[in-house]
């Protein structure tokens, strides 16, 4: 091959390389620009803003964690991430109520996800405060006391916490499923609180529920099943949301979803950790989220305690500890 032909061939390779790099850089810029736009749009929607001007976005402060400094999360240096998930409602009272208490675990090595729902009336020993319902731990000492309670009673160490206001739940649903989620409502559901702050009115049958309606669906407990039915519906909806989030359209909405959720979430999990887990989860989606309810059906009974505790869910504490140890760690506690 002549020298001139070799030079022409080399120049063509360089042009192709430059074109390839240029297209790659353009794709990155488009992705970053799209992500930034979606994040800002979601955050503005959550804050009730309709102005998309970039200068105003700079004045929006990042929501600060109320409990980050006090939460003493434990990292076991394994491949499992344990997160305390809490759903609260601050609309009706100054002291936030913990209607939803969950332990979520993502195993980055096995690529599995597990969730254990802890019934809020479960009778446990709250460190330095004696026996009470488990949701009292949050009211007394926030997520840190609840972390200590879970560690002492069940032997499960939690590294992170994430508290989501129920208003944030409706925003999340409306962001990733603007047309609603298809749900088979098993029975008519009607409830209206004394102050009118909570109003649930759903008819039995398959239907598409908006964020507000879906919130009512997972919070309803005014029937014979009470909290048992509510926890079951919470786990059902969690799987529905998971399917939406790992779909192609759900992935595209991830930046907007993060922006939407930010004003309603309090967590000690840094953005770097969230992005890392999110990337791992999206690249290796979990087929099915395993679920468990504590206390289990074969280890629970009602007991009435002295005022102001009232009716609680009693259980064999050793058996409950062993059940959770086996569920999360694959071994029984010693």
Read off the pLDDT of each residue in 117-140 and give the average, rounded to a whole number: 96
pLDDT at residue 1 greater than cutoff 80: no
pLDDT for 60-97, tens place per residue? 334 457 898 999 998 877 888 899 999 887 655 556 66
Same domain, 250 and 324: yes
- State the Cα–Cα distance between residues 216 and 72, nearest whole angstrom: 33
Q: 146 and 231 share a domain?
A: yes
DSSP annotation of 222 reads -
Burial class (CB in 10 A: 0-12, 13-18, 19+), 78: exposed
Whether 334 maps to a domain, the answer reads no
CB 269 within 8 A of CB 160: yes
Q: Given a cut of 80, is residue 207 above it in pLDDT?
A: yes
Instruction: Assess contact for 227 and 181: CB atoms under 8 A.
Output: no
> Which among 92, 65, 73, 262 has a CA at the least distance from the CA of 157?
73
% of the chain surpassing 70 pLDDT: 67
Q: What angle (nearest 5°) sits at the alpha carbon of residue 89, between those of residues 179 and 50? A: 50
In the predicted model, is pLDDT for residue 150 greater than 60? yes
Average pLDDT across the chain, whole number: 79
Provide the pLDDT for residue 56. Answer: 37
CA distances from 276 to 51, 196, 270, 279, 280 (A): 31, 42, 10, 5, 6
Residue 215 located in a structural domain: yes
Q: Are residues 40 and 92 in the same domain?
A: no
332 pLDDT higher than 50: no
pLDDT band at 34 (very low <50, low <70, confident <90, very high): very low
Q: Which of 241, 131, 222 is nearest to 183 (CA)?
A: 241
Q: For residue 194, tell me if it sits in a domain.
A: yes
Residues 6+ apart with CB under 8 A from 128: none
Q: Is the pLDDT of residue 140 over 50?
A: yes
pLDDT of residue 263: 76
Domain containing residue 234: CATH number: 3.40.630.190
- Residue with token string 């298809």: 182
Total domains, the chain:
2
Greater confidence, 170 or 261?
170
Residues 101 and 232 in one domain: yes
Residue 19 has pLDDT above 80, yes or no: no
**92 and 201, same domain (yes or no):** yes
Query: Is residue 290 in some structural domain?
Result: yes
Average pLDDT over residues 34-56: 49
Contact predicate 42/258, CB 8 Å: yes
| Residue 310: inside a domain | yes
Q: How many CB atoms lie within 10 A of CB 162?
A: 19
Residue 68, in any domain of the structure: no
Question: What mean pLDDT do residues 231-249 have?
Answer: 79
pLDDT at 12 over 60: yes
**236 and 305 in one domain?**
yes
Q: 96 and 19 in one domain?
A: no
Q: Look at residue 99 and give its three-state secondary structure.
A: strand
Same domain, 123 and 251: yes
* pLDDT of res. 189: 94
Nearest to 159 by CA among 273, 52, 19: 273
308: pLDDT strictly greater than 80: yes
pLDDT at residue 173 is higher than 50: yes
As given in the structure block, the two tokens for residue 236 are 């059902």
Same domain, 118 and 189: yes
Work out the average pLDDT over 24-51: 52
- Please list, in sequence order, all residues whose beta carbon lies within 8 angstroms of the beta carbon of residue 206, skipping any fewer than 6 positions away: 182, 183, 184, 185
Asked whether the predicted pLDDT for residue 156 surpasses 80, the reply is: yes
pLDDT of residue 245 exceeding 90, the answer is no
Q: What is the mean pLDDT of residues 243-265?
A: 69
CA–CA dist 320, 332 (Å, integer): 11
Question: Are residues 19 and 120 located together in one domain of the fold?
Answer: no
Report yes or no on 197 lying in a domain.
yes
Give the domain extent around 40: 3-57
Q: Are residues 88 and 219 in the same domain?
A: yes
The stretch 151-167 carries a mean pLDDT of 91
pLDDT at 57: 38
Q: Is the same domain home to 144 and 270?
A: yes
Q: What is the DSSP letter of 168?
A: H
74 falls within a domain:
no
Q: Is 37 exposed, middle or buried (0-12, 13-18, 19+ CB in 10 A)?
A: middle
């Amino acid at each position: 091959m002549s020298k001139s032909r070799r030079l022409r061939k080399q120049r063509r390779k360089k042009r192709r390389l430059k074109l390839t790099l240029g297209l790659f850089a353009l794709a990155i810029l488009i992705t970053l620009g799209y992500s930034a736009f979606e994040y800002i749009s979601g955050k503005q929607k959550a804050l009730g803003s309709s102005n998309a001007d970039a200068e105003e976005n700079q004045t929006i402060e990042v929501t600060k964690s109320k409990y980050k400094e006090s939460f003493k999360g434990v990292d076991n240096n394994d491949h499992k991430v344990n997160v305390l998930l809490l759903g609260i409602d601050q609309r009706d009272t100054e002291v936030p109520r913990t209607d939803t208490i969950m332990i979520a675990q993502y195993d980055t090595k096995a690529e599995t996800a597990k969730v254990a729902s802890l019934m809020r009336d479960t009778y446990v020993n709250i460190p330095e405060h004696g026996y009470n319902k488990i949701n009292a731990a949050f009211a007394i000492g926030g997520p840190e006391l609840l972390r200590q309670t879970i560690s002492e009673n069940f032997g499960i160490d939690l590294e992170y916490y994430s508290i989501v206001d129920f208003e944030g739940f409706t925003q999340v649903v409306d962001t990733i499923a603007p047309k609603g989620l298809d749900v088979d409502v098993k029975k008519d559901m009607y409830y209206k609180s004394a102050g009118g702050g909570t109003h649930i009115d759903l008819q039995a049958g398959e239907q598409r529920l908006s964020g507000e309606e879906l919130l009512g669906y997972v919070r309803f407990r005014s029937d014979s099943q009470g909290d048992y039915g509510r926890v079951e519906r919470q786990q059902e909806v969690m799987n529905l949301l998971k399917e939406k989030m790992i779909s192609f359209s759900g992935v595209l909405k991830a930046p907007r979803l993060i922006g939407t959720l930010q004003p309603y979430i309090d967590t000690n999990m840094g953005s770097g950790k969230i992005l890392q887990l999110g990337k791992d989860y999206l690249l290796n989606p979990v087929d099915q989220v395993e679920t468990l309810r504590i206390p289990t059906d074969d280890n629970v009974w009602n007991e009435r305690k002295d005022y102001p505790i009232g009716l609680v869910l009693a259980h064999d504490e050793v058996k409950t500890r062993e059940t959770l140890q086996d569920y999360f760690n694959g071994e029984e506690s010693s």
